[in-house]
Amino acid sequence: MLKKIIKLGRFQFTLPVFMVFSCGALQAVLSSDGLFNAARFIFGYLIFFSAQLSVQYSNEYFDFDSDRLTIPTLFSGGSKVLRNNENLKIFSKWISILLAIVSIILSVLFVLVFKVSVRIIILAISANLLGWFYTAPPLKFSYRRLGEITIILIIGIILPAAGSVTVSDSLNKEIIVIMMPLLLYTAMLSIAVEIPDYEADRISCKNNLVSVFGRKTGYLILSVLSSTASIYFIIMSVLNMIHGFYRYDINFIMLGLASIPSLVTSFYGNVANPSERRKITLFINVIIFSLFFILLVFSIHLIILVLSG
């Protein structure tokens, strides 16, 4: 039973979310020339770890009908646990609610323990509300062409901001530099997980970019987003070399090189336009792992900069 509950939570998504949160925290340490407080970092991350699990359990519950229509992959179509164990359906709903409450309580305790502003409470409440209504009625963002925007807000903006607020209790303008690629790659992730579920989403009236405009449009958007991110790294590298645009030692050339796998894969998808289920699944897995690779390189690079600072 425990194994099924863990599988239901789709823990494979916790590592990339942890890395996004870490990027925000590490950038804040670099920009403030402050010390890294491990206790604050762990405490702050637990707030959003709880929120993330809450979202994943609630998605399993509210997407039950649409997920029954598709074949699950490693990153899309749900965990398949509820379709074979409907007795866990109500558990999925209530564990999600409990985790959201835990997340918000932890954010309040964080403010009281570390005597900081209420910014982290605002971010925690925002993340939990957006995550809950991603699939939950009456808003059901993912069914109303707002799913991609919701994911971008949570992962691309709230999480790095939360990392920054956790370690420094502030948001500085330099965080925009790391938010830009995170926004682009989060958008890629949101599109990628929709592609395998195209048919099921159309049947269940789940209106997202791919179900409305088709897989071919999804492949095109992936290549545009990936190209934009790579161009961004090139521009930042040039500006840094000529004008010293960014006063920290982030190696944008290295990040540009790390973006090549996602760039090449997305262009392949746009040209080949995979339509067979096996090829679609392989393509999406490669795309998502390439995004994880960029996050991993970025996180390790920031860790090295903080340690050498």
Residue 228 sits in a domain whose CATH number is 1.10.600
Alpha-carbon gap, residue 170 to 164, rounded angstroms: 7
pLDDT given at position 172: 79
d(CA 290, CA 145): 26
Q: Is the peptide bond before 261 cis (omega within 30 degrees of 0)?
A: no
Q: How many other CB atoms sit within 10 Å of the CB of residue 271?
A: 9
Percent of the chain with pLDDT over 90: 71
pLDDT digits (tens, 9 = 90+) for 87-130: 889 999 999 999 999 999 999 999 999 999 999 999 999 999 99
d(CA 184, CA 194): 16
| Average pLDDT, rounded, for the chain | 92
pLDDT in tens, 222-249: 999 999 999 999 998 888 777 665 666 7
Residue 97: predicted pLDDT: 97
Q: Which domain holds residue 272?
A: 2-308
Best CA proximity match to 110, nearest among 152, 166, 177? 166
Give the pLDDT of residue 247.
60
Percentage of the chain lying above the pLDDT 70 cut = 97
- pLDDT confidence bin for 137, thresholds 50/70/90: very high
State pLDDT tens for residues 61-75.
999 888 887 878 878
Distances (CA, A) of 176 to 47, 256, 293: 23, 17, 21
Q: What is the mean pLDDT of residues 163-168?
A: 94
Tokens of 277: 């289920």
Dihedral of CA 220/196/282/92: which sign?
A: positive
Domain count, the chain: 1
Which has more pLDDT, 33 or 236? 236
pLDDT of residue 185: 96
Distance between CA atoms of 78 and 93, rounded to whole angstroms?
14
pLDDT at 289: 96
